[in-house]
């Protein structure tokens, strides 16, 4: 096992997944990839209201704020991995979180995914978070789920 992917969202569960992945990377002398996905559906929250005018300036401001938040989440996650030195890569993408996580995970270089059972939305979606559940259903890569 050489490369482990950890999707991060700044939640406590995500932090626990990072901690577990650090142990695995140290044991296997591998590499860690921290992936944060900016959910681009958030930019179009008004799409359910077709008669409402689209404020593109507001959408761009929201995008910029989410990019700043993503950079902070990734910085904090990378700082948590300081013990690994240069064996940590950070990646930020925009899109649907499940699609982007699965797409990235299915690259040949990724050997395993470690992710939290629930993200920032907590237990609202069911026993197993909807993103984690959908990733598990859509990848053949080994997936370790951390509670």
User: Does the pLDDT at position 10 exceed 80?
Assistant: yes
Q: Exposed, middle or buried: residue 122 (CB in 10 Å: 0-12, 13-18, 19+)?
A: exposed
> What is the crossing angle of helices 56-80 and 12-28, to 10°?
50
The pLDDT tens digits of the residues spanning 62-103 come to 999 999 999 999 999 999 999 999 999 999 999 999 999 999
The string of pLDDT tens digits covering residues 15-35 is 999 999 999 999 999 999 999
Full residue range of the structural domain in which residue 66 is found: 3-146
pLDDT of residue 50: 63
Kindly report the pTM of this predicted structure.
0.89
Greater pLDDT, 86 or 54: 86
Total of domains in the chain: 1
CA 131 to chain centre: 10
Read off the pLDDT of residues 107-134 as tens digits, 9 standing for 90 and up.
Answer: 989 999 999 997 665 444 434 578 999 9
* CATH number reported for the structural domain that contains residue 80 in this entry: 3.40.50.620
């Amino acid at each position: 096992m050489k490369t482990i992917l950890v999707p991060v969202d700044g939640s406590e569960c995500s932090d626990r997944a990072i901690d577990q992945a650090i142990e695995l990377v140290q044991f296997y002398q591998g590499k860690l990839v921290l992936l944060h996905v900016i959910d681009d559906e958030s930019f179009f929250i008004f799409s359910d209201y077709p008669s409402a005018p689209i404020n593109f300036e507001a959408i761009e401001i929201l995008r910029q704020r989410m990019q700043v938040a993503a950079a902070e989440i990734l910085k904090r996650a990378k700082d948590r991995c300081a013990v690994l030195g240069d064996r940590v890569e950070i990646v930020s993408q925009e899109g649907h979180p499940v699609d982007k996580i699965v797409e990235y995970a299915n690259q040949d270089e990724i050997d395993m995914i470690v992710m939290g059972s629930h993200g920032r939305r907590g237990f609202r979606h069911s026993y197993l978070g909807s993103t984690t559940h959908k990733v598990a259903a859509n990848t053949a890569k080994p997936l370790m789920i951390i509670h």
